[in-house]
Amino acid sequence: MSAHSRILVVDDDPGICDAIREVITAEGYAVQTAPDGEAGLALVKEHGFDLIIVDLVMRGMDGMAVLRSVKADDPDAVVIVITAHGTIEAAVQAMKLGAFDFLSKPFTPDELRMAVRRGLSVRRLTLHNRLLKEELKYSIGIPSDVNPILGLSSSMVKVREQIQKVAPTNSTVLILGETGTGKELVARAIHQFSERQQEPMLTVDCGALVETLFESELFGHVKGSFTGATATKHGRFELANGGTLFLDEITNIGPKIQGKLLRAIQEREIIRVGSSHSIKVDVRIIAATNRDILQEINQGNFREDLFYRLSVVPIHLPPLRERKDDITALTDHFLDKFKRKKKKDVKGISEAAMNALMSYDWPGNVRELESVIERAAVLTENETIMPADLMFFGGQQRPDNAFPEHELVALETLEQQHIRHVLTATQGKKSKTAEILGIDRKTLRLKMAKYGIGDDSD
């Protein structure tokens, strides 16, 4: 943390404030000062800082009170206490309250620089640990080592070329494709080959977050900004600062957040909920959606200006049914992966079984193919997967003759039957059903309510 690090100095001696600011500004940090404890806390609440330097003895609110208040709002805050009245007892008390370091005046510029560097290093590790927890929470069920770009079809060669061209830049990217085509893993490939690869990449599932809390999750909030805001929260933009933010299923966000997201992208700054001051951030945005985003714009559900900001470089991931030449390579990849994980020796797949895979439409795309192959490898009693080992939609392909030829039915009737069929096949699991149908959970719930389909599953 250097160019983007924000530091606050709280001291009632203007000369000390100026001297400290001069030393650490020369290191490339952004520095603000406050003349007393009350003013310092107000700045902390409004802006948020990576490190705070506070004098122990000041008029009005002293340094201990400032330290206590800062740590109550943000336990991870890094605070360095300075004083001309240094005693062992004061240092011990400050450390017990959570101070990172204690410097006795007069201290040298090198001592100050070293303390600041160590403090910012700890701050960086803290934010990265928090980031890892966030990634773990939102990556459950996502196969981390699947390579959906595997294959030699011309469409995927084009995707590879696009990734290679756009990765080294800072351009925003919009990934378009049906559920299960591997949009998140394309985003990770872009980050991996970018100049930001050593910095964090954070994924935000826009379809999984409650709309009322989305703004807080994305931009953070200050303590007391709403009921339940018991401490200052760092949003995803701050956690991903210097790295990449992947906004999955971007078309799920509402118009209010769309406007604030547009501002964050344009101005490269955010405002926490409950604050009126902006925080500079350096984040590369990659977004994705499984919907027809132009149709969403025409229907007034998505801002056109935000679309243009996001789609500087659009990448379209074709569905598996349009690149069936890749099914053989993907199947071999998934079998190898399964054998490594499960220690079961399945040598391959029969020609007849491969023909069955090639004739299937794959509504769940690459993700469904992986599931079918793993299920077959688990259930087969042979060394080679046979057609009888393959189960689509929980047992068989959807029959083409679901209705007699002479019977003409409404499209909604077909849709209702198909939703019931897939729900039965997935044992009522709405997340899996939505994936297979190529829609999000919210849309599935609306359709289930429309057709009077029971809602007692996950």
Average pLDDT, the chain: 84
Q: What is the CATH number of the domain that holds 102?
A: 3.40.50.2300
Closest CA to 51 of 96, 91, 81: 81
Q: Are residues 56 and 185 in the same domain?
A: no
- Residue pair 282/245 in contact by the 8 Å Cβ criterion: no
Say whether pLDDT at 272 is over 60.
yes
The rounded radius of gyration (Å) of the Cα atoms in the chain is: 27
Report the percentage of the chain scoring pLDDT > 70.
88
Other beta carbons less than 10 A from residue 266's beta carbon: 11
Is 193 part of any domain?
Answer: yes
Q: Are residues 432 and 371 in the same domain?
A: no
Q: Are residues 108 and 164 in the same domain?
A: no
**Residue 85, pLDDT score:** 74
Residue 202 backbone class (left: φ over 0; alpha: ψ -120 to 50; beta: rest): beta
Q: Are residues 196 and 254 in the same domain?
A: yes
Say whether pLDDT at 88 is over 60.
yes
Helix 109-138 with 14-25: angle, nearest 10 deg: 70
On the CB side of 351, how many CA atoms lie within 13 Å of its CA?
0
Say whether pLDDT at 401 is over 50.
no
What digits encode the pLDDT tens for the residues 42-65?
998 877 789 999 999 898 899 999
Q: Are residues 196 and 305 in the same domain?
A: yes
Tell me the C-alpha distance between 253 and 77, whole Å: 31
Average of per-residue pLDDT across 84-100: 83
**Residue 131, pLDDT score:** 63
Q: Are residues 167 and 311 in the same domain?
A: yes
Q: Are residues 48 and 127 in the same domain?
A: yes
Q: Are residues 347 and 382 in the same domain?
A: yes
Say whether pLDDT at 309 is over 90.
yes
Confidence of residue 458 (pLDDT cuts 50, 70, 90): low
Average of per-residue pLDDT across 331-355: 83
Is 201 part of any domain?
Answer: yes
Q: Which residues pair with 385 in a beta bridge?
A: 349
Q: Are residues 358 and 432 in the same domain?
A: no
Amino acid code (one letter) for 238: E
**Residue 261, pLDDT score:** 94
Is 146 part of any domain?
Answer: no
The residue among 301, 318, 335 that closes a domain is 318
SS (H, E, C) 424-437: HHCCCCHHHHHHHH
Is 138 part of any domain?
Answer: no
Q: Is 60 exposed, middle or buried (0-12, 13-18, 19+ CB in 10 A)?
A: exposed
Residues 97-112: b if buried by 16+ CB within 10 A, e if exposed: bbbbbbbbeeeeeeeb
Domain that holds residue 48: 6-132
Q: What is the CATH number of the domain that holds 335?
A: 1.10.8.60
Count of structural domains, the chain: 4
Q: Are residues 178 and 246 in the same domain?
A: yes
DSSP per residue over 340-352, as a string?
A: HHH-----EE-HH
Is 114 part of any domain?
Answer: yes
Q: Are residues 192 and 278 in the same domain?
A: yes
Q: Are residues 359 and 421 in the same domain?
A: no
DSSP H/E element including 92? helix 88-96
**Residue 112, pLDDT score:** 94
What digits encode the pLDDT tens for the residues 427-447?
788 888 888 777 888 888 888
